[in-house]
Structure 1
Amino acid sequence: MMKKLTLLALAGLIVAGGANAAGDATAGKTKSATCVACHMTDGNSVNPIWPKLAGQHYDYLVKQLSDFRAGNRTDPTMAAMVAPLNDQDVLDLAAYFSSQTQAPGAANPDLVQQGEQIYTQGNPASGVAACTACHGASGLGMPQARFPRVGGQHPDYVKKQLNDFRAGVRGNDPNGMMRDVAMKLTDAEIEAVASYMAGLK
């Protein structure tokens, strides 16, 4: 599994290397007026079911917005929000939110030990790979490969995404990478690792 993740990471670096078209953060701030109801002005959502966009990688945000537009990632609310966007709008919004500073999160102390175990070492018995392979020890991700920043993210949002990957509801992960991981996680492991990620800085 680790070899597969390494090869996919390298492939992502190669593919993404020339894909960073220019976005205008100033224009993106103006265009973000329709986003603030859920994600707030600076991209730090206060509702734990909506993700923090502040400080997320530019290329990752471009991909997710593009996937929502194309129907490769589904959500009724987001489908309506991205419908009016053109390609430049996507780039500008990604430039704006990626330039913002993420507000720190906090882990549940009762779940730190189990969450750290899964995040840093995985679960060899069930074949779960360590999250650090793609998301890094501090949860900062790999921007060139479009692996997202997960450190400081709302645990409720992370839990939902892992459950959606596990159930096949979300399928816009490259080569099914996250689906392969999530399908091997138990409910308790998802709860713990999502909480642990929230406390990473």
Structure 2
Amino acid sequence: MNNLNAIYDLILIELRKLSLNENFYFKPVKPKLSDLELIAINISAEYLSIDSEHQLFRYIANSKLNGMIERSVYNRRKRKLFEPMEKVRKLMVAKFNDIENTYIVDSMPLEICKNARANRSKICKESEYSFPSKGFCASQSSYYYGYKLHAVCSVSGVFQSFDISTASVHDIHFMQDIKYQMSNCTLIGDRGYLQEE
């Protein structure tokens, strides 16, 4: 027996307190689940550490949500709801981090292929501004080809923001972007973020 029902209900109550809308875009046929309810399912799955859609729908089959949404419809609607989900995430983060004034910043490599294949790789080369590049990972003392994930997290474990840059962007340059997003707080980072300013 899973506790998806209880978690879903709690999350939906909190989402309704944060959001003004139940639906974020027009649908010609009214679905059984509103957009906000679909977002609540998604957050409930994250909370339960369900990383497989197959596993999620096994949980749904044993809950009150059984028969409310098909897997293909869930996928299609979830993709369309990316921007509203990001807005809801920011509202939740603002509520959780309301009294926080200390944050941790760090980065990690996102390797898309081995260095030997870097020159032949066609991954993510549709637009010139998003081309991957070669970078150095100090913790692994090795070069890699791809991107770098930057994240800012509160000391209580709630992610404030995250961003992806090419691998060649140094952590100091990412700090320039953060200083416009955050103020009156303490940022803790490793040596890569040290600079005079």
- TM-score w.r.t. length of structure 1: 0.26
Higher relative contact order (CA 8 A, sep 6+): 1
Q: Between Structure 1 and Structure 2, whose CA radius of gyration is higher?
A: 2
Structure whose residues are more often strand by fraction: 2
Structure whose residues are more often helix by fraction: 1
- TM-score w.r.t. length of structure 2: 0.26
